[in-house]
Structure 1
Amino acid sequence: MGHLKFEDLPRATEIILKKLSALEEELKKIKEHFQPKEPVELLTREETAEFLKISLTTLWQWSKKGVLPSNGIGNRVFYKRSEILNSILELTHRQRK
Protein backbone atom coordinates (compact mmCIF):
# COMPACT_ATOMS: atom_id res chain seq x y z
CA MET A 1 0.00 0.00 0.00
CA GLY A 2 2.16 2.83 -1.29
CA HIS A 3 0.31 6.12 -1.53
CA LEU A 4 -3.20 6.10 -0.14
CA LYS A 5 -5.98 8.22 -1.48
CA PHE A 6 -8.89 9.37 0.62
CA GLU A 7 -11.21 6.86 -1.06
CA ASP A 8 -8.79 4.00 -0.11
CA LEU A 9 -9.06 4.71 3.64
CA PRO A 10 -12.17 2.57 4.38
CA ARG A 11 -10.63 -0.50 2.70
CA ALA A 12 -7.23 0.10 4.35
CA THR A 13 -8.90 0.48 7.74
CA GLU A 14 -10.79 -2.77 7.19
CA ILE A 15 -7.55 -4.61 6.33
CA ILE A 16 -5.79 -3.18 9.40
CA LEU A 17 -8.66 -4.20 11.69
CA LYS A 18 -8.66 -7.75 10.31
CA LYS A 19 -4.91 -8.05 10.86
CA LEU A 20 -5.23 -6.68 14.41
CA SER A 21 -7.99 -9.18 15.13
CA ALA A 22 -5.81 -12.04 13.83
CA LEU A 23 -2.92 -10.83 16.01
CA GLU A 24 -5.19 -10.72 19.06
CA GLU A 25 -6.24 -14.32 18.41
CA GLU A 26 -2.63 -15.45 18.06
CA LEU A 27 -1.67 -13.68 21.31
CA LYS A 28 -4.61 -15.31 23.07
CA LYS A 29 -3.44 -18.76 21.89
CA ILE A 30 0.13 -18.05 22.98
CA LYS A 31 -1.05 -16.93 26.44
CA GLU A 32 -3.17 -20.07 26.86
CA HIS A 33 -0.28 -22.41 26.02
CA PHE A 34 2.56 -20.44 27.57
CA GLN A 35 4.30 -22.27 30.38
CA PRO A 36 6.90 -20.16 32.15
CA LYS A 37 10.16 -21.96 32.61
CA GLU A 38 10.76 -22.85 36.22
CA PRO A 39 14.16 -21.85 37.55
CA VAL A 40 16.45 -24.74 38.40
CA GLU A 41 16.61 -25.12 42.16
CA LEU A 42 19.80 -26.75 43.38
CA LEU A 43 19.88 -28.43 46.77
CA THR A 44 23.00 -29.31 48.73
CA ARG A 45 23.58 -32.85 49.98
CA GLU A 46 22.34 -31.84 53.43
CA GLU A 47 19.21 -30.15 52.06
CA THR A 48 18.46 -33.14 49.85
CA ALA A 49 18.87 -35.63 52.69
CA GLU A 50 16.63 -33.50 54.90
CA PHE A 51 14.07 -33.12 52.11
CA LEU A 52 13.94 -36.91 51.60
CA LYS A 53 14.22 -37.66 55.33
CA ILE A 54 17.20 -39.95 54.75
CA SER A 55 20.78 -40.03 56.02
CA LEU A 56 23.72 -38.65 54.06
CA THR A 57 25.00 -42.23 53.72
CA THR A 58 21.75 -43.36 52.09
CA LEU A 59 21.85 -40.31 49.82
CA TRP A 60 25.41 -41.19 48.77
CA GLN A 61 24.40 -44.80 48.08
CA TRP A 62 21.37 -43.73 46.03
CA SER A 63 23.54 -41.35 44.02
CA LYS A 64 26.15 -44.04 43.44
CA LYS A 65 23.47 -46.54 42.29
CA GLY A 66 21.86 -43.95 40.01
CA VAL A 67 18.62 -43.78 41.97
CA LEU A 68 19.12 -40.02 42.30
CA PRO A 69 21.07 -38.07 39.69
CA SER A 70 23.61 -35.70 41.19
CA ASN A 71 25.38 -32.71 39.70
CA GLY A 72 28.95 -31.89 40.53
CA ILE A 73 30.04 -28.28 40.45
CA GLY A 74 33.68 -27.98 41.36
CA ASN A 75 34.21 -30.28 44.31
CA ARG A 76 30.61 -29.86 45.54
CA VAL A 77 27.60 -32.05 44.83
CA PHE A 78 24.13 -30.65 44.21
CA TYR A 79 20.76 -32.16 43.41
CA LYS A 80 18.08 -30.56 41.25
CA ARG A 81 14.74 -30.46 43.04
CA SER A 82 12.92 -31.34 39.80
CA GLU A 83 15.13 -34.44 39.29
CA ILE A 84 14.55 -35.53 42.89
CA LEU A 85 10.79 -35.31 42.42
CA ASN A 86 10.97 -37.12 39.07
CA SER A 87 13.04 -39.91 40.62
CA ILE A 88 10.53 -40.32 43.46
CA LEU A 89 7.65 -40.47 40.98
CA GLU A 90 9.50 -43.02 38.86
CA LEU A 91 10.25 -45.21 41.87
CA THR A 92 6.63 -45.05 43.05
CA HIS A 93 5.45 -45.91 39.55
CA ARG A 94 7.78 -48.92 39.39
CA GLN A 95 6.60 -50.20 42.78
CA ARG A 96 2.94 -50.10 41.67
CA LYS A 97 3.61 -52.40 38.70
Structure 2
Amino acid sequence: MDLYSMIEAGGRMKFEVTGEDLCKFAEVLIEKAQQMKMRELAMQPKEEKWLTMHEAAEMCMVSKTTLWQWQKTGYLVPAKMGRRSLYALSDIQKILATRKRRDDDDDD
Protein backbone atom coordinates (compact mmCIF):
# COMPACT_ATOMS: atom_id res chain seq x y z
CA MET A 1 0.00 0.00 0.00
CA ASP A 2 1.41 3.38 -0.96
CA LEU A 3 1.49 6.47 1.25
CA TYR A 4 -1.34 8.23 -0.60
CA SER A 5 -3.68 5.24 -0.20
CA MET A 6 -2.92 5.04 3.52
CA ILE A 7 -3.67 8.73 4.01
CA GLU A 8 -6.81 8.47 1.89
CA ALA A 9 -8.03 5.56 4.05
CA GLY A 10 -8.16 7.95 7.00
CA GLY A 11 -7.56 7.48 10.69
CA ARG A 12 -4.71 8.60 12.86
CA MET A 13 -1.41 7.02 11.92
CA LYS A 14 2.27 7.59 12.33
CA PHE A 15 4.44 6.99 9.32
CA GLU A 16 8.04 6.14 8.86
CA VAL A 17 8.82 6.83 5.24
CA THR A 18 11.80 6.79 2.96
CA GLY A 19 12.80 9.46 0.52
CA GLU A 20 11.55 7.22 -2.27
CA ASP A 21 8.10 7.02 -0.59
CA LEU A 22 7.96 10.80 -0.36
CA CYS A 23 8.93 11.19 -4.03
CA LYS A 24 6.18 8.75 -5.09
CA PHE A 25 3.69 10.58 -2.86
CA ALA A 26 4.69 13.92 -4.43
CA GLU A 27 4.27 12.45 -7.92
CA VAL A 28 0.76 11.23 -7.06
CA LEU A 29 -0.19 14.66 -5.69
CA ILE A 30 1.19 16.44 -8.75
CA GLU A 31 -0.64 14.06 -11.08
CA LYS A 32 -3.94 14.56 -9.24
CA ALA A 33 -3.50 18.35 -9.29
CA GLN A 34 -2.80 18.28 -13.02
CA GLN A 35 -5.90 16.13 -13.65
CA MET A 36 -8.05 18.55 -11.64
CA LYS A 37 -6.64 21.53 -13.55
CA MET A 38 -7.28 19.81 -16.89
CA ARG A 39 -10.90 19.10 -15.91
CA GLU A 40 -11.32 22.70 -14.79
CA LEU A 41 -9.91 24.04 -18.05
CA ALA A 42 -12.06 21.70 -20.11
CA MET A 43 -15.19 22.97 -18.37
CA GLN A 44 -14.41 26.65 -18.95
CA PRO A 45 -15.50 28.27 -22.18
CA LYS A 46 -12.64 29.17 -24.50
CA GLU A 47 -13.66 32.81 -24.75
CA GLU A 48 -16.41 34.41 -22.71
CA LYS A 49 -19.04 36.55 -24.37
CA TRP A 50 -20.36 39.47 -22.33
CA LEU A 51 -23.86 40.92 -22.53
CA THR A 52 -25.13 44.33 -21.53
CA MET A 53 -27.87 44.68 -18.93
CA HIS A 54 -30.44 45.19 -21.68
CA GLU A 55 -29.29 42.09 -23.59
CA ALA A 56 -29.21 39.96 -20.43
CA ALA A 57 -32.70 41.08 -19.38
CA GLU A 58 -34.04 40.34 -22.86
CA MET A 59 -32.40 36.91 -22.98
CA CYS A 60 -33.73 35.94 -19.53
CA MET A 61 -37.11 37.53 -20.31
CA VAL A 62 -37.01 39.61 -17.12
CA SER A 63 -36.86 43.30 -16.32
CA LYS A 64 -33.73 45.25 -15.45
CA THR A 65 -35.10 45.49 -11.91
CA THR A 66 -35.10 41.69 -11.68
CA LEU A 67 -31.45 41.64 -12.80
CA TRP A 68 -30.65 44.14 -10.07
CA GLN A 69 -32.43 41.93 -7.49
CA TRP A 70 -30.55 38.87 -8.76
CA GLN A 71 -27.30 40.78 -8.32
CA LYS A 72 -28.18 41.71 -4.72
CA THR A 73 -29.00 38.08 -3.85
CA GLY A 74 -25.93 36.70 -5.67
CA TYR A 75 -28.05 34.73 -8.17
CA LEU A 76 -26.52 36.47 -11.20
CA VAL A 77 -23.62 38.79 -10.48
CA PRO A 78 -22.33 40.98 -13.32
CA ALA A 79 -18.77 42.06 -13.93
CA LYS A 80 -18.25 45.79 -13.64
CA MET A 81 -16.49 47.68 -16.41
CA GLY A 82 -16.41 51.23 -15.15
CA ARG A 83 -20.08 52.10 -14.61
CA ARG A 84 -21.36 49.35 -16.92
CA SER A 85 -22.58 45.97 -15.73
CA LEU A 86 -21.71 43.13 -18.08
CA TYR A 87 -23.17 39.65 -17.72
CA ALA A 88 -21.34 36.47 -18.72
CA LEU A 89 -23.27 34.55 -21.35
CA SER A 90 -22.22 31.26 -19.69
CA ASP A 91 -23.81 32.37 -16.38
CA ILE A 92 -27.06 33.25 -18.14
CA GLN A 93 -27.07 29.93 -20.00
CA LYS A 94 -26.72 28.08 -16.66
CA ILE A 95 -29.68 29.99 -15.24
CA LEU A 96 -31.80 29.29 -18.33
CA ALA A 97 -30.89 25.59 -18.25
CA THR A 98 -31.83 25.38 -14.56
CA ARG A 99 -35.09 27.18 -15.25
CA LYS A 100 -35.87 24.82 -18.16
CA ARG A 101 -35.19 21.73 -16.01
CA ARG A 102 -37.42 23.11 -13.27
CA ASP A 103 -40.20 23.82 -15.78
CA ASP A 104 -39.85 20.31 -17.25
CA ASP A 105 -40.11 18.81 -13.74
CA ASP A 106 -43.26 20.84 -13.06
CA ASP A 107 -44.87 19.44 -16.21
CA ASP A 108 -44.50 15.85 -14.96
What TM-score do the two structures reach when normalised by structure 1? Answer: 0.52
AA of the residue aligned to 1:84:
I
* Cα deviation digits, residues 20-78 of structure 1 (max 9, x gap): xxxxxxxxxxxxxx99x532100000000011111111111111111112111111100
1:89 to 97, 100, 106: 97
Match of 1:59 in 2: 67
1:76 to 66, 74, 84: 84
Match of 1:21 in 2: none
Q: How many residues align?
A: 63
> After the TM superposition, which parts of structure 1 deviate over 2 Å for at least 4 consecutive aligned residues?
87-96
Structure 1 unaligned spans of 5+: 1-33
What's the % identity of the aligned pairs? 34
**Inter-CA distance 69–94: structure 2 relative to 1 (3 Å threshold):** farther
**Inter-CA distance 77–91: structure 2 relative to 1 (3 Å threshold):** same
Structure 2 unaligned spans of 5+: 1-41
What TM-score do the two structures reach when normalised by structure 2? Answer: 0.47
CA contact under 8 A between 2:78 and 2:88: conserved in structure 1? Answer: yes
AA of the residue aligned to 2:77:
P
Cα shift at 1:88: 3.3
